[in-house]
Amino acid sequence: MIPLALGGAAVVLSQVGRSRDGENANVTIVDFDDSGRKLGPAVRKKVVRSESDWRRQLTSGQYWSARRGATDTPFTGTYYQLEAPGLFRCVCCGNALFSSSTKFDSGTGWPSFSAPIAAENIRTQADESLPPARVEVLCRLCDAHLGHVFDDGPPPTGLRYCMNESALRFVPRLS
């Protein structure tokens, strides 16, 4: 793990790449029901599928964003404007990632959050694919590319988790 200071907050960068290493590995996440209620820690087998299986499961846009690291075009989705209460899950594996309670309008055209629903449910790594270097955010359970985290968010974290809508599935809170 590599700590990276972003503003006043620290993000821990994992050194795990996108290889199929550890496909039999277990990971610990925090489970949430669809109402956003925390169920507690859970050990899960890492979700690993073949590229052809991911292509069958996902739409083309979801595949290119979540599995190949592409970035959605800003201001083209609906989640960046969404104000409904609910939970944002990984489009690939269903892992709970963000709550609408930490969502804010960043003005960027992408859904933005000040914090994940549980730090255990995501992982980060250095992304040097474009200058300047950024911090990539991935789903801990299936390694889906979710977006990037920046140090220009609101208090209390000072972080902006700038996510690709096509990597998320919104579950509205019904109660």
Per DSSP, the three-state class of 112 is strand
Residues 6+ apart with CB under 8 A from 124: 4, 11, 12, 13, 14, 135, 136, 137, 138, 149
Residues 6+ apart with CB under 8 A from 121: 29, 30, 95, 96, 97, 139, 140, 141
Q: Which one is catalytic: 92, 139, 142, 162? A: 162
Confirm whether 162 is a catalytic residue: yes
List, by residue number, the catalytic residues. Answer: 162
